[in-house]
Structure 1
Amino acid sequence: MIAAVLFDLDGTLLDHERAAAEAITRSFPDADPAWLAARWRELSEEAIDRYLAGELSLAAQRRARIVALAGELGLGDWDEARADAWFSGFLVSYETAWRPFPEVRRVLEVLAGRGLRLGVITNGDLGQQRTKIERMGLAGLLPHVVASSETGTGKPAAGIFRDACAGLGVGPAAAAYVGDRLITDAQGAAAAGLTGVWLDRSGDPPPTGLEVARITSLDALPGLLDAVSPPGGRWAAP
């Protein structure tokens, strides 16, 4: 029986992509917005991967993103002070745009009403991620937050999933984990012994041979948990 449900944060509960796109296009209004949002997303993912691998500090990965983008926009070679000052302003715009996906609160309330223990596992800085949850008004529903900045390891490593389960007082087999990335979230959780659930909002057909649960909206999660597959079983594509 599932006793606890843990969630990824950015892209699963928080509409991070929309918030980041709003903030970056506001920062450079003369650039093509579609190209700008896509390129910022690419640079962000590259820099954050290096941060999680221990190659860059939190501040350094932020600088790497804007220094690269400024160069591509023909704005010259920015030094650390200029990059840091710009990023401070960007964060204000980004934070202003933080919003949960529309169904998030009602789904969390349904799960909490069933007596399930709820929490978050996130690759990122604990302070910023807690602030996101608080600003979205979800702190009361998601009291338990585990972040890679505190554990020293990030998803998809098994340790961060197991640490989160231990913090909730449940074994991995009694926990489900929901995230928008197939490998990092759903498959990583499944490898750690949890029920991995892939939240795929893309609208694309599911890949063949999928061995984790797939939903296209969090609204489907309560029903999915009612029909959780037996250990070792495969999930049928919806």
Structure 2
Amino acid sequence: MIRAVLFDLDDTIIFSYANPAPAWRAVAEEFSAHLGDAPIDAVAKALADSTATFLSDDENRRRWRLEAVATRRAVVRDALVNAGFPHLGALAPQIGDRYAAYREENMYLYPDALEVIDSFRDRGVKLGLVTNGATEVQNWKIDSFGLRDRFDHFQVEEEAGYGKPDGRAYVETLAALDVSPEDAIMVGDDLVWDVLAPKRLGMKGVWCNRFELALPASAEAIPDRVITRLSELLA
């Protein structure tokens, strides 16, 4: 019997940072008057590709989350210079900051999220939110999307001093909920953070695969269940 459900926040409960290429394109278009002879398509591609490469490294992802402003600006500047647009380097702070603001402006709560969360609460299931990121940013999301009173425990990376896939993030959450690993499931969009890490502790890992991606051949852990919408958890 499942006594607790742990949820990831970004791109599981709310649409936050997935599919970044269109966002970079939109920001490049906003700066079109300042790009000179640099094609919008080329600038957008350079920004999207460079960011994707940078974020493929776990330590870089941590810096992007916890040292957001400086890291984002540096990545944008390097992307523009390396793509052959050194004259745009001075725009890096504005472009980087506008990208962050654009993503924030376009975040939204997935339509089925509150129904699912409330359904588990009504059944007496304990709920934990395990999220990586800066305390101020993640707490803003939690409050803005009406999640504060719906969870029994919030595990925020910067606040705790560690985050996923560090097993301590899960151990602390389970302790706060007074639930053993075998009685809990974790639901999230990241195969390493939200599936492999909790499964190593004895939990079940549910992959929230909203974009219906193929399971990579290199995946270290097989999800116990794959869903494309949170409402499937209630079936």
TM-score, normalised to structure 1's length? 0.76
**Aligned twin of 1:94:** 103
Residue 220 of structure 1 and its aligned partner are, at CA, apart by 1.2
**Aligned twin of 2:72:** 62
Residue type at the aligned position of 2:80: A
**Aligned twin of 1:28:** 28
Out of 191-200 and 201-210, give the one that drifted further.
201-210
Residue 180 of structure 1 and its aligned partner are, at CA, apart by 0.8
Residue 176 of structure 1 and its aligned partner are, at CA, apart by 1.2
Question: Given the alignment, which residue of 190, 199, 214 partners 2:208?
Answer: 199
Residue 117 (1) aligns with residue 126 (2) = yes
Q: What is the root-mean-square deviation in Å for CA atoms of aligned residues?
A: 3.2
1:5 match: secondary structure: strand
2:186 match: secondary structure: strand
Residue 120 of structure 1 and its aligned partner are, at CA, apart by 1.4
**2 CA distance for matches of 1:185 and 1:222?**
19
> After superposition, where does 1:3-14 map in structure 2 within 5 Å?
3-14=3-14
**Aligned twin of 1:227:** none
**Aligned twin of 1:145:** 154
Residues 17, 103 of structure 2: 8 Å contact kept:
no
Residue type at the aligned position of 1:218: L
**2 CA distance for matches of 1:202 and 1:138?**
24
Evaluate the alpha carbon distance shift between residue 94 and residue 222 of structure 1 in structure 2; reply closer, same or farther with a 3 A threshold: same
**1 CA distance for matches of 2:119 and 2:78?**
44
**Aligned twin of 1:136:** 145
**1 CA distance for matches of 2:162 and 2:107?**
26
Evaluate the alpha carbon distance shift between residue 145 and residue 83 of structure 1 in structure 2; reply closer, same or farther with a 3 A threshold: farther
Q: CA-to-partner distance for each residue in 1:132-178, whole Å, 9 max, x for gaps?
A: 12222232223532122123322222111111112223222222111
Segments of 5+ residues of structure 1 without an aligned counterpart are: 224-238
**2 CA distance for matches of 1:72 and 1:101?**
37
2:108 match: secondary structure: coil
1:120 match: secondary structure: strand
**Aligned twin of 2:170:** 161
Residue 172 (1) aligns with residue 181 (2) = yes
**Aligned twin of 1:215:** 227
**Aligned twin of 2:36:** none
Q: How many residues align?
A: 220
Q: CA-to-partner distance for each residue in 1:78-128, whole Å, 9 max, x for gaps?
A: 47xx64454444333222111022221221121122122222111211221
2:6 match: secondary structure: strand
Residue 186 (1) aligns with residue 195 (2) = yes
**1 CA distance for matches of 2:125 and 2:135?**
23
Residue type at the aligned position of 1:13: I
**Post-superposition, which runs of at least 4 consecutive aligned residues in structure 1 deviate over 4 A?**
18-23, 72-75, 82-86, 204-209
Q: CA-to-partner distance for each residue in 1:29-75, whole Å, 9 max, x for gaps?
A: 04239846843650562476325389x84444223322233325554
**Aligned twin of 1:233:** none
Question: Given the alignment, which residue of 31, 49, 68 partners 2:59?
Answer: 49
Residue type at the aligned position of 2:208: L
**2 CA distance for matches of 1:36 and 1:118?**
40
